[in-house]
Structures are given as structure tokens and as C-alpha cells.
Structure 1
């Protein structure tokens, strides 16, 4: 096999590992929450995140911004959930994180900086107007996710949430 083929295979495997590190803790949360309860699920989520973020750093050679921010909120709100035995905190976490990302992206646009360009610039070729539109749509998407989370956790049971 050529070095070029090996490089492609290595990049593909690295992408698979980083994807697993990003979604693995959430999947483990769903499994533990379904099998036991939200407090066990939250503890599993916290431990898995605390392991996944440094593994991502080791694998990619850089700290991942979104998993790092998300991990911080998981540890803070998860810790409050377990310590106070109040599931409200873990249910609020997606609302706060999604609003934060929406505000950051929207704020970047107010200052004329489509913040998705530095993140995805290597993957997509867009005009500055295209980057601004994409960033605006992502900001709106994060706000919609926050609103949906609010409706679901306030209006439905924990099992539904």
C-alpha cells in the first residue's frame, strides 16, 4: 500500500475516533439513563466526557473548542445535578450551551466576523456572504434547539426528555 493510501486510511480512522469521542459520552448517557435513572446517566456522562476530551486532545494535538465548552458545562451542571439530586440542572445544560453558541455566532456576525469560517474553512469553499449566511443559520439553529429543549423538559416527563 502506498504512503498516500496509508495517510488516507489514517485520516479516516482518526476522523472515526474523533467522532466517537464527540458522540460517545452522549450515547453512554442515553444508555445509562434508560437502564437506570438520570442521576446514574449524568454520572456516566460526566466520566465519559472527562475521559473523551483529553483523548481528543491527544489524538488531534489540539483542544477541541466545542467539546471543551460542552464538557465544562456537563461537569458543572452534571455536578450540580448529582450533588443536589435535582435533575433540573442537567436538563438546563442543553438550553444554556445552545444559547451560548447562538450568541457567540450571532455576536461574531454583529462584528462582521462569520465565526464558522475559521472552523470549517478547509472543508467548504464559500464567499464571505455565504459564510455569513451559514453562520446566521447555525446561530438560529442553536436558538431553536434551546427553545425545543425548554419546551420538552418543562412540558414532558424526564423519560420523554
Structure 2
């Protein structure tokens, strides 16, 4: 008899580890019924280099031709839209939260103690957390819903990656 996936529990969150993968695995993990995806601290360029681009320099500003380095931002998108954009993330690492509610404008995790992050996210509708340090690395998938993680781990596209 084959053993099931190793799902661990800590502080009310269940965790599943995946072998070396890319962000593309999210096409088989995200729940299409959960409305929002929050990608935290996305860096479109992985290396610190000056790049010519267009960016707004103020809230009411227009796009300006500038050189930037280490541009980083949060991205909030409907799950369906994020899945359309997923190929753009294939060569990147990622911190992603799938949320049952829209993330409030004022919610950041900067300055939130590590032991309080899960509680804050759960209070704001966390369904799933995905952490991939960089492409082709081991990833972790966490959720307060163990049966959801069990179902995800049994999907044919995900099963080969489960540790």
C-alpha cells in the first residue's frame, strides 16, 4: 500500500512540500473558485541591473522613460486573470497567497512578526500560500484546509512533485 503525501501541521496551517518545480505548477494547485491571487514582492527582473522602462513616478504622474533597478511590487489579480498571466512567472520564484477576500489596501506584511503572519492572513481570507524561492526549486504549499491539500496532492499533474 502506497503512503499518502506528507502533510504536516503547525499552528492551524497544513503544509505540503513539492520537489523541484516552477510557478507553472500553480495551474494545477490554485482553486478556481477562490477569487483572488496576491503575489507579494514580485521582481520582474531577477538580477540587479539598470533597465530602461516606463514607470509612473507619482500617484497622478504619467509614464516616464526612466532607468530602474530592483523594481519590486505586489500584484493583486482575480484568479482567472492570474492563470492567464502565469507563463510570465515561469522563470521566477514567488510568494503567492490565494485569498477568499480582496486584500485590503492597508494590509502589508512588512513589520508583522513571523509568528503572527498566518493569523493576519487567515483573518483576511487566506485559502492557500505558495512559496517558491526560485524557479526549479522545492516549493511549499500551505492551507488551513487539509482536505484541500490532500486533493491537490493527488492530482496527476501534481503527484510526481509531492515529497
TM-score by length of 2: 0.29
**Greater relative contact order (Cα 8 A, min sep 6): structure 1 or 2?**
2
Higher helix content, 1 or 2? 1
TM-score by length of 1: 0.29
Higher strand content, 1 or 2? 2
Largest Rg, 1 or 2: 1
